[in-house]
Amino acid sequence: MSSKDPLDEMTGGNAAVGSPEGGAEVEVGHLPVMVDEVVETLAPGSGSLQIDATLGGAGHAERVLDASSPDGRLLGLDADGAAIARSARRLARFGDRVVLRQTNFGEMAEVAPAAGFGRVDGILMDLGLSSYQLSDVERGFGFRAGGRLDMRFDTSRGRPAADLLATMAADELAALFRRYGEEPFAGRIARTIVETRRHTPVETAEQLAALVERAVPAPKARRTHPATRVFQAMRIAVNDELVALEAGLAASLLLLRPGGRLVVLSYHSLEDRIVKRFIASEQRGCICPPEVPICVCGRSPNLRSLGKSRTPSAKEVTANPRSRSARLRGAERVAA
């Protein structure tokens, strides 16, 4: 890639072009969730500095850049190199208003200042995975994926899901499904995996989905695939998602200027609980017990909640069923 390549300039040369595994990338599109609510809450003015910590297909980023015209700037992050490359193409028209970096948002406190975004007006975290990732059959996020079960956002780090399924003991797998998937049949599923792998390695998403379907009792009526919780649990474990979320939230306190806003979209209760508790705890000032007459903890609030969480409209859920579990929370940084 030449140093004049606009993709190289935007990304500091760290974009992986195309599917990281070299497989065909399926350009199915990703509809940004609650995009009007996100832009309304971030309220990105002209001249402002924003961070989109989860670029995905850059749908939110594009709207934030439009809303902060003519000179608002945006730092876009994603752990997935393919997301960075795709976003660079979509956002090319904004020129040097956009800076992109392939990184985990858990490292935002170091990466953002180094990219010139040390004090920002807004941070968006749209958690989980994008439709691009879900439909890339090489990566194993969806039930029908035929490639080796990988599930890593960043394919250069960590262990693929197939490795965990091949090596973890039954009780460890069961604990993982319970903890990250709240799966009621965790023990049965874990035992079936361990029995199966004695003669056949569990290596593809299709195999795992079929195995879970066999292991759990057939429900009378079901809204989702029986393997949904197991897939969620594997993805969270492979990417250490909840640890990254805690680190990303903590980093937001260091990066937001007073008055700057944090917006988080979460898609399941484990994520939302962390976000809700973080905002509540950073909103609280003094944490001294009521019987102590004078404050000794010296704590002052770091955030002000922007009200109750919001969910997508019925109209949006109909148009984009993947938005149905979304929950948006916002908070404003207050001066320390």
* Contact by Cβ (8 Å): 30, 141: no
Instruction: Report angle CA 252, 98, 302 to the nearest 5 degrees.
Output: 15
d(CA 266, CA 329): 8
Specify which residues 266 forms β-bridges with: 327
First vs last Cα of the chain: how many Å apart?
Answer: 45
Q: Which of 51, 83, 162, 189 binds ligand SAM (CB under 6 A)?
A: 83
**CA dihedral angle for residue 36, residue 37, residue 39, residue 40, rounded to 10 degrees:** 110
58 counts as binding ligand SAM under rule CB under 6 A? yes
CB atoms within 10 A of CB 85: 21
What does the block give as tokens for 36? Answer: 């009007």
d(CA 250, CA 333): 12
What are the distances in angstroms from CA 53 to CA 153, 170, 245, 279, 291? 13, 35, 11, 18, 42
- In the complex with ligand SAM, the residue whose CB is nearer, 50 or 104, is 104
Q: How many residues does the chain have?
A: 336
Find the shortest distance in angstroms from Cβ 94 to ligand SAM: 15
Q: Which of 48, 54, 68, 252 binds ligand SAM (CB under 6 A)?
A: 54
Find the shortest distance in angstroms from Cβ 121 to ligand SAM: 18
d(CA 143, CA 26): 16
Q: Which residues contact 177 (CB under 8 A, 6 or more apart)?
A: 183, 186, 189, 190, 229, 230, 233
Q: Where are the alpha helices (DSSP H) in 150-260?
A: 161-167, 170-181, 186-197, 205-215, 228-239, 241-255
Q: Which stretch binds ligand SAM (CB under 6 A): 127-135, 188-196, 220-228, 289-297?
A: 127-135
Find the shortest distance in angstroms from Cβ 124 to ligand SAM: 7
Find the shortest distance in angstroms from Cβ 284 to ligand SAM: 26
Q: Which stretch binds ligand SAM (CB under 6 A): 99-107, 171-179, 196-204, 211-219?
A: 99-107
- In the complex with ligand SAM, the residue whose CB is nearer, 80 or 150, is 80
In the three-class reduction of DSSP (H, G, I as helix; E, B as strand; rest coil), residue 144 is classed as coil
Q: Which of 37, 126, 138, 271 binds ligand SAM (CB under 6 A)?
A: 126
Find the shortest distance in angstroms from Cβ 274 to ligand SAM: 13
Q: Which of 20, 44, 56, 260 binds ligand SAM (CB under 6 A)?
A: 56
158 counts as binding ligand SAM under rule CB under 6 A? no
Phi first, then psi, for residue 223 (nearest 5°) are: -95, -25
Q: Which of 80, 121, 271, 282 binds ligand SAM (CB under 6 A)?
A: 80
- In the complex with ligand SAM, the residue whose CB is nearer, 94 or 105, is 105
Q: Which stretch binds ligand SAM (CB under 6 A): 20-28, 102-110, 113-121, 199-207?
A: 102-110
* Contact by Cβ (8 Å): 32, 102: no
Task: Identify residues 17-46 at the interface with ligand SAM (CB under 6 A).
Answer: 30, 32
Q: Which of 57, 76, 81, 226 binds ligand SAM (CB under 6 A)?
A: 57
Task: Identify residues 243-272 at the interface with ligand SAM (CB under 6 A).
Answer: 244
153 counts as binding ligand SAM under rule CB under 6 A? yes
76 counts as binding ligand SAM under rule CB under 6 A? no
81 counts as binding ligand SAM under rule CB under 6 A? no
Which residues of this chain interact with ligand SAM, rule CB under 6 A?
A: 30, 32, 54, 56-60, 77-80, 83, 104-106, 126, 128-130, 153, 244
